[in-house]
Amino acid sequence: MTTVSMTVNGKAVSADIEPRTLLVQFLRENLRLTGTHVGCDTSQCGACVVHLDGQAVKSCTVLALSCDGATVGTIEGLASDGALHPMQEAFREHHGLQCGFCTPGMIMSAVDIVARCGHHLDEQTIREELEGNICRCTGYHNIVKAIAAGAEAMGASSPMQHAAE
Amino acid sequence: MNATGIGAAVRRKEDQRFITGKGQYTDDVNRAGQAYAAFVRSPHAHAEIRGIDTSAALAMPGVIAVLTGADLAADKIGGLICGWMIHSKDGSPMKAGAHPALAQGKVRYVGDHVAVVIAETALQARDAAEAVSVDYNVLPAVVDPAKVKGATAVHDVAPDNTVFSWQLGDKAGTDAAFASAAHVTRLDFINNRLVPNAIEPRAAVGDYDAGTDSFTLYTTSQNPHVARLVLSAFIGIAPENKLRVIAPDVGGGFGSKIFIYAEETVCVWAAKRVGRPVKWTADRTEAFLADAHGRDHVTRAELALDAKGKMLGLRVHTIANLGAYLSTFSSSVPTYLYAPLLSGQYDIPAIYAEVDGVYTNTAPVDAYRGAGRPEATFVVERLVEVAAREIGSDPVAFRKKNFVSKFPHQTPVIMNYDVGNYPAAMDKALELADYKGFARRKRESAKAGKLRGLGFSAYIEACGIAPSQAVGSLGAGVGLWESAEVRVNPTGSVEVLTGSHSHGQGHETTFAQLVSDRLGIGIDQVSVVHGDTDKVQFGMGTYGSRSGAVGMSAIVKALDKVIAKGRKVAAYVLEAAESDIEFKDGRFTVAGTDKGLAFGEVALQAYIAHKFSGQELEPGLKEGAFYDPTNFTFPAGVHICELEIDPDTGVARIDRWTAVDDFGTVINPMIVEGQVHGGIAQGVGQALLEGAHYDDEGQLVTASFMDYAMPRAGDLPSYTVGMTVTPCPSNPLGIKGCGEAGAIAAPPAVINAITDALGHEHVAMPATSQEIWRALQRMPTQMAAE
């Protein structure tokens, strides 16, 4: 067992873990942050996407120990003061989810796409950027619409704050 | 229209928890003191087990127990069952081999369950599973469903590996139709094997309470009551009253979570054995290996036409791969869910279908979104497209000439189509797809060196499954009604308990819309409860697009009873005759007066019971109903796929997708369109990308998302979705069902578009770029160069 410490959703956390523990296992099993999901074992589906030091990563492919001292953001930390993040709101408004299982990863990826590609996203860009996230329910149509709208809303609501994320 | 009633595009109530990471899926359930299960799975497709040595595994850190099929047998735990009896042509019953949850003497596919290791942590269980030593005597495996005869028998009970040799329709009449035909179109093809791949892998947590001698199973199920019934009555875990099955949030099903599998069975059984809650969560590779797969037909199909292009007869022979064991409803899928749909939208006087269900050393095959109907639609719509080309007819005119135009219409294969308007859907689809502009777009593509094609699919499906007497007469082991209970609280809020289960369909919203519509209260005052056998008395679950047509009809019946009771209560309170009480827009009023009570006031009066005696009227306001349908429902529509092929690479890019569907009454158009989108994506996946492939030794070589091509956002277009409406006459809401339409319609639309682009060449599914490129190489050079 080895001790790992990091900041998750703004809170300092620490635990003794097996060295082979994956970040997603640490989040789900040790911290009981079960919003981050596991949908595959080959880093393909993206249900496990979280933000590690501000960048989207697949937490099924990151060792928790390698995140020692890092800052991690999960779906549970996205809404602030009870108000939904604009991207969360956009997924609801545009029916960008059905069973909801891929949704946390989709939303975390979407926020990252906006951070990298800006607030004005065309359909082709969104579809290409979603290469690493699989949804079996929606056929992506409404996810694409939700991300485009969420990106615009992020720009309109507080451009400085979200650009910094 | 009520803003939250029937027909409103209400945003989903369930989304709040899903978009904030607060969903509660089975793997999110943790019980105090839980242990973890890992399964030892067969690496061989076919082998005898000569011995299992568990000593090394038992000595490993954290290991609590290693259990095998012998332990199951010692506890008298029965095998998994197939709940639909099919009889062969000669009248003999299907040959169902035993299906123990842990192997007893033999393994029959790669991934078959040999033993389970229970340990303190999931990783320790996995480590120890690796240390279980199994002595196998490897046997020859049969993988190709067309080559099962003469191969080593998968089950002794079926020496020629044939489970049933079934038929439907009039053989002599159909043969006569072909003998008199002016033209016959023939096609041979494979309907490719698919893996459902809900993004949430299956999971289970079994728990045993020694104090009450009762079990609880949390599981990823589309039908928890059916799971409890099977686990109790057939597998023998516990009596039904001592077994609670909870299916919490479920991350997609598509059929694969209907079935009662080995792993869930073992977890709940082992919980008592080891005296600890036992949790198991599949990884994706396990899902590929051991979830029931879909489709996998080898088919020869023929269509007979007269000299004027009218359809005379249709003849089909299909070999259906059922895998190594008969999964829960596997036998019904290639028989009664398939052949009765072979008439499509067409008036075909004679149809005859023969289906051989066969065993192979592959994972069990069962219902996957559409379940038999995509396979039937592919037969019909490929035949129609090819026949139209062969006789030089326009594909639209040929379809219209043969559409069923009078209703009700009795087909030669069981189904009685109640209502529809097939030309209307076709015309609307042509308009939305800008069919008139296709020739211009094709020329423009040609200028850019691309081949553009357009393909139709005019599908029909049978949903709302189904009248219990009807399915009983066809071999079903259960009735297919649905239940509902409406509990009105004293303050006027409502809980609806339903036997349907939502795993993405949005029932918490649409069912609340129905209640809002009928009772005149806001949807925020309505909670929908499902997925827990301790809360909902019984239910048949969600599959076959049945939750609207059957599940909501049950709610309507219960709501009618609530309103009837409310009128009695209101009559006492308002001191009027019951016959004078009217209920409208959430108010009970005395006809012709301004005296009235809001729904909530009547609810309160029903509970305080001050205005009537208990002898006159029972207090309280709670009603239940069971609804058994009178017919299947028949959603139908036209999908048009327009795509462009790059002849240098064989890559097909879908440019436009137009869907016009007739689902009858629509409760929430936003949700219905979403269902159509998702179905199309799965159908396009089957047509262009997906294929489960076993090698000759029975190894699944497509067992990860790196090897099995799931449709991704970049593979798909945006969709244009339109609707026509002919309300279903056989249920109180006029609903037909929408969940599977896209997956049923899409595959032939794609392949018809590809063959339209290429000319007459047939292209196999999945029509990958390699497959299309090969087809291009087979074609005359001027065509390929066009």
At residue B401 the predicted structure's pLDDT band, cuts being 50, 70 and 90, is very high
Domain count, chain A: 2
Helices B669-684 and B741-758, interaxial angle, to 10°? 50
Token pair belonging to A4:
């790992």
Q: With CB atoms and an 8 Å threshold, state whether A75 touches B678.
A: no
pLDDT at A82: 83
Of B20, B679, B705, the CB nearest to A75: B20
Note whether residue A39 is domain-resident.
yes
Amino acid identity at B506: G
Of A88, A123, A142, the CB nearest to B674: A142
- Model confidence at A118: pLDDT above 90: yes
Within 8 A by CB and 6+ apart from B178, the residues are B184, B302, B304, B312, B313, B315
pLDDT at B784: 47
For residue B700, the SS3 value is strand
- Model confidence at A158: pLDDT above 70: no
Q: With CB atoms and an 8 Å threshold, state whether B22 touches A107.
A: no
**Do B297-465+631-785 and B481-627 come out as alike in CATH topology?**
yes
Q: What is the C-alpha to C-alpha distance for residues B140 and A115, in angstroms, rounded to an integer?
A: 55
pLDDT at B1: 59
Note whether residue A59 is domain-resident.
yes
Q: What is the 3-state secondary structure (H, E, C) of chain A?
A: CEEEEEEECCEEEEEEECCCCEHHHHHHHHCCCCCCCCCCCCCCCCCCEEEECCEEEEHHHCEHHHHCCCEEECHHHCCECCECCHHHHHHHHCCCCCCCCCHHHHHHHHHHHHHHHCCCCCHHHHHHHHHHCCCCCCCCHHHHHHHHHHHHHHHHHCHHHHHHC
Half-sphere exposure of B176 (CA within 13 A, CB side): 6
Q: With CB atoms and an 8 Å threshold, state whether A45 touches B201.
A: no
**Within this chain, do residues A97 and A69 fall inside the same structural domain, yes or no?**
no
pLDDT digits (tens, 9 = 90+) for B89-105: 999 999 999 999 999 99
Note whether residue A36 is domain-resident.
yes
To the nearest whole Å, the CA of A69 is away from the closest chain B CA by: 24
Q: What is the C-alpha to C-alpha distance for residues B330 and B349, in angstroms, rounded to an integer?
A: 29
Question: Which residues of chain B make contact with A128, given a CB cutoff of 8 A?
Answer: 713-714
pLDDT digits (tens, 9 = 90+) for B51-67: 999 999 999 999 999 99
CATH of the domain at A93: 1.10.150.120
**Within this chain, do residues A106 and A50 fall inside the same structural domain, yes or no?**
no
Chain B: residue nearest A124 by CA? B714
**Within this chain, do residues A58 and A109 fall inside the same structural domain, yes or no?**
no
Q: What is the C-alpha to C-alpha distance for residues B378 and B445, in angstroms, rounded to an integer?
A: 27
**Within this chain, do residues A105 and A135 fall inside the same structural domain, yes or no?**
yes
CB neighbourhood size of B778 (10 A): 9
Note whether residue A60 is domain-resident.
yes
Q: With CB atoms and an 8 Å threshold, state whether A42 touches B200.
A: no
Average pLDDT, chain B: 97
B769 burial via Cβ count (<10 Å: 0-12, 13-18, 19+): middle
CATH of the domain at A53: 3.10.20.30
What sections of B465-583 are H helices per DSSP?
468-473, 507-519, 553-574
**Within this chain, do residues A95 and A128 fall inside the same structural domain, yes or no?**
yes
Q: With CB atoms and an 8 Å threshold, state whether B199 touches A102.
A: yes
At residue B760 the predicted structure's pLDDT band, cuts being 50, 70 and 90, is confident
Of A18, A133, A138, the CB nearest to B123: A18
To the nearest whole Å, the CA of A41 is away from the closest chain B CA by: 6
Amino acid identity at B48: E
**Within this chain, do residues A97 and A39 fall inside the same structural domain, yes or no?**
no
Q: In the CATH scheme, what is the code of domain B481-627?
A: 3.30.365.10
- Model confidence at B735: pLDDT above 80: yes
Of B20, B281, B674, the CB nearest to A138: B674
Half-sphere exposure of B708 (CA within 13 A, CB side): 28
**Within this chain, do residues A95 and A119 fall inside the same structural domain, yes or no?**
yes
What spatial distance separates the first Cα and last Cα of chain A, rounded to whole Å? 33
For residue B140, the SS3 value is coil
Note whether residue A165 is domain-resident.
no
Question: Which residues of chain B make contact with A32, given a CB cutoff of 8 A?
Answer: 30
| Domain parsing of chain B, residue ranges | 18-139+197-290, 297-465+631-785, 481-627
To the nearest whole Å, the CA of B289 is away from the closest chain A CA by: 13
Residue B205, beta-bridge partner list: B218, B279
Half-sphere exposure of B770 (CA within 13 A, CB side): 2
DSSP, residue by residue, B60-119: STTEEEEEEHHHHHHTTPPPP---B--B-TTSPBP------SS-SSEE-STT-EEEEEEE
Q: With CB atoms and an 8 Å threshold, state whether A92 touches B716.
A: no
Q: Which residue has the tokens 């056929």?
A: A139
Amino acid identity at A32: R
Task: State the Cα angle at B353 between B349 and B358, rounded to 5°.
Answer: 170
Token pair belonging to B542:
């969600």
Q: With CB atoms and an 8 Å threshold, state whether B718 touches A42.
A: no
Q: Count how many residues are written for chain B.
A: 786
To the nearest whole Å, the CA of A49 is away from the closest chain B CA by: 12
Q: With CB atoms and an 8 Å threshold, state whether A76 touches B249.
A: no
Q: What is the C-alpha to C-alpha distance for residues B447 and A50, in angstroms, rounded to an integer?
A: 46
For residue B150, the SS3 value is coil
**Within this chain, do residues A72 and A90 fall inside the same structural domain, yes or no?**
no
Q: What is the C-alpha to C-alpha distance for residues B38 and B263, in angstroms, rounded to an integer?
A: 9
Of B283, B670, B677, the CB nearest to A139: B677
Hey, which residues 636-675 in chain B have their CB within 8 Å of chain A? 670-671, 673-675
pTM: predicted TM-score of the whole model, two decimal places: 0.97
B223 close contact with A: CB closer than 8 A: no
pLDDT digits (tens, 9 = 90+) for B16-41: 999 999 999 999 999 999 999 999 99
Within 8 A by CB and 6+ apart from B107, the residues are B42, B44, B46, B47, B49, B114, B136
Q: With CB atoms and an 8 Å threshold, state whether A88 touches B14.
A: no
pLDDT digits (tens, 9 = 90+) for B484-513: 999 999 999 999 999 999 999 999 999 999
Strands B183-191 and B622-627 turn out to be unpaired
- Domain limit, last residue, from A52, A76, A100: A76
Token pair belonging to B641:
């796929």
Note whether residue A164 is domain-resident.
no
Q: What is the C-alpha to C-alpha distance for residues A111 and A122, in angstroms, rounded to an integer?
A: 15
Within 8 A by CB and 6+ apart from B238, the residues are B213, B214, B215, B231, B232
**Probe site for chain B from A36, A51, A140, A142 (most B CB atoms < 10 A):** A140
pLDDT at A163: 47
pLDDT at B781: 59
Question: Which residues of chain B make contact with A15, given a CB cutoff of 8 A?
Answer: none
B33 close contact with A: CB closer than 8 A: no
* B645-652 mean pLDDT: 97
Hey, which residues 495-534 in chain B have their CB within 8 Å of chain A? 503-506
- Model confidence at B785: pLDDT above 80: no
pLDDT at B761: 80
**Within this chain, do residues A55 and A107 fall inside the same structural domain, yes or no?**
no
Of B18, B19, B719, the CB nearest to A139: B719
Token pair belonging to B745:
């319609």
Note whether residue A58 is domain-resident.
yes
Give the Å distances, CA to CA, from A46 to A61, A98, A105, A129: 10, 16, 6, 12
Q: Do B131 and B119 form a contact (C-beta atoms < 8 A)? A: no
**Within this chain, do residues A96 and A72 fall inside the same structural domain, yes or no?**
no
Element holding B400 (H helix, E strand): helix B395-402
The whole domain housing A145 covers 86-158
Hey, which residues 235-274 in chain B have their CB within 8 Å of chain A? 249-252, 254
pLDDT digits (tens, 9 = 90+) for B430-448: 999 999 999 999 999 999 9
Architecture of the domain made up of B18-139+197-290: Alpha-Beta Complex (3.90)
Q: What is the C-alpha to C-alpha distance for residues B710 and B67, in angstroms, rounded to an integer?
A: 35
Note whether residue A81 is domain-resident.
no
- Model confidence at B354: pLDDT above 90: yes
**Within this chain, do residues A7 and A70 fall inside the same structural domain, yes or no?**
yes
Buried b / exposed e along B404-419 (16+ C-beta atoms within 10 A): beeeebebbbbbebbb
pLDDT digits (tens, 9 = 90+) for B131-145: 999 999 999 999 999
Query: What fold characterizes domain B297-465+631-785?
Result: Aldehyde Oxidoreductase; domain 4 (3.30.365)
Nearest to A131 by CA among A59, A74, A58: A58
pLDDT at A164: 46
- Domain limit, last residue, from A58, A76, A94: A76
Buried b / exposed e along A79-95 (16+ C-beta atoms within 10 A): eeeeebbbbbbbbbbbb
* B355-383 mean pLDDT: 98
